[in-house]
Amino acid sequence: MKKLTLLLLCLFGMTQAKAQEPSATPADTVKTWQTKGNASLLFNQSTFDNWLAGGENNISGTIGVNYDFNYKKDDITWDNKVIASYGIVKTRTSSFAKKTDDRLELNSLLGKKFKPDSRWYYSAFLNFKTQFTKGYEYGKDANGVEIRTEYTNFLSPAYLTFGPGILWKRDDNLKFNFAPATSKITFVDKNFTLPNEAYFGVKEGKSLRYELGAYASAYYKLDIMANVTFENILSLYSNYLEDPQNVDLDYQLNIVMKINKYLSTNLSFQTIYDDNAFQGFQIRQVFGVGANYGF
């Protein structure tokens, strides 16, 4: 909790400093819908032949889309974001191609201003997360041959989180939302469930888990320097009904460093803490140079 508190204080401090600056993007008084997105394809290959220092032949690739479609008119704002990515790696010694990334996420945030000149809004939000394909646990049989067992799949798990709240928004690049009465539903394939709610907190033989709690989210996107963009996405959730002190955390950092119009270096970092899924931090990082297209 100390680390979590420190993280929140740092983000809040940056926000207060940034909030004193004028908005980087002038408000568009004509168009009610603003759309922007980024598609990327990262590809890596390593080959070794009589390489005494050691190494393993491998090939990997990751494709991703990050797309925003936002509405603004008078005192109404509606921000929507879709994040989708999928990646695999194949090594010479493995019998299977393994995933390096697999996620599908939708964020939707609706707000109505307290008053015309305010940055505070009444809000309602929805967040949905799942994956595209099957996920496996890997091991070896009695003969030392690699085997795998299906553990996850599309919509197993899937998370749906929604609720009313209060939003503070400077612009599309900086906003906070707090929802004190948030519903969270975890969906799974009941055939995967385990005793003692060991499969994502869902009871054995059931297909969903319901939680009611408090949700907080922050979004902060900034240009560190020319052609270098940092996008920070943070969400926190505390379940009133069970162990409210165990705060679920999901933090994403997406860095795009443009080389030219079509090439860039991309870094994606994500850490998740959810004790119903795993007793510890889950960490994922993808880094590479590849084709990048903004639209």
Q: In this structure, are residues 293 and 262 in contact, taking their beta carbons and an 8 Å threshold?
A: yes
Amino acid 22: pLDDT: 47
State the DSSP string of 189-247: -GGG--GGGTBTTBPTT-SEEEEEEEEEEEEEEEEEETTEEEEEEEEEEEETTS-TTS-
SS3 state at 17: helix
Report how far apart, in Å, the C-alpha atoms of 260 and of each of 228, 257, 264 are: 11, 9, 7
Q: Give the position of tokens 């019998």.
A: 95
Alpha-carbon gap, residue 60 to 17, rounded angstroms: 40
Over its length of 295 residues, how does the chain's per-residue pLDDT go in tens digits?
A: 444 444 444 444 444 444 444 444 444 445 899 999 989 998 888 788 777 677 778 889 999 999 999 999 999 999 999 999 999 999 988 889 999 899 999 999 999 999 988 999 999 999 999 999 999 999 999 988 999 999 999 999 999 999 999 999 999 899 999 999 999 999 999 999 999 999 999 999 999 999 999 999 999 999 988 889 999 999 999 999 999 999 999 999 999 898 888 888 888 899 999 999 998 999 988 888 889 888 8
State the DSSP string of 128-181: EEE-SS-EEEEEE-TTS-EEEEEEEBTTBTEEEEEEEEEEEEEETTEEEEEEEE
The pLDDT tens digits of the residues spanning 160-194 come to 999 999 999 999 899 999 999 999 999 999 999 99
Alpha-carbon gap, residue 184 to 212, rounded angstroms: 6
Amino acid 30: pLDDT: 57
Alpha-carbon gap, residue 69 to 80, rounded angstroms: 5
Amino acid 294: pLDDT: 81
Preceding peptide of 157 cis, ω within 30°: yes
Task: Give the CA dihedral 194, 198, 204, 210, nearest 10 degrees.
Answer: -150
pTM (2 d.p.): 0.83
Alpha-carbon gap, residue 135 to 1, rounded angstroms: 30
The pLDDT tens digits of the residues spanning 5-20 come to 444 444 444 444 444 4
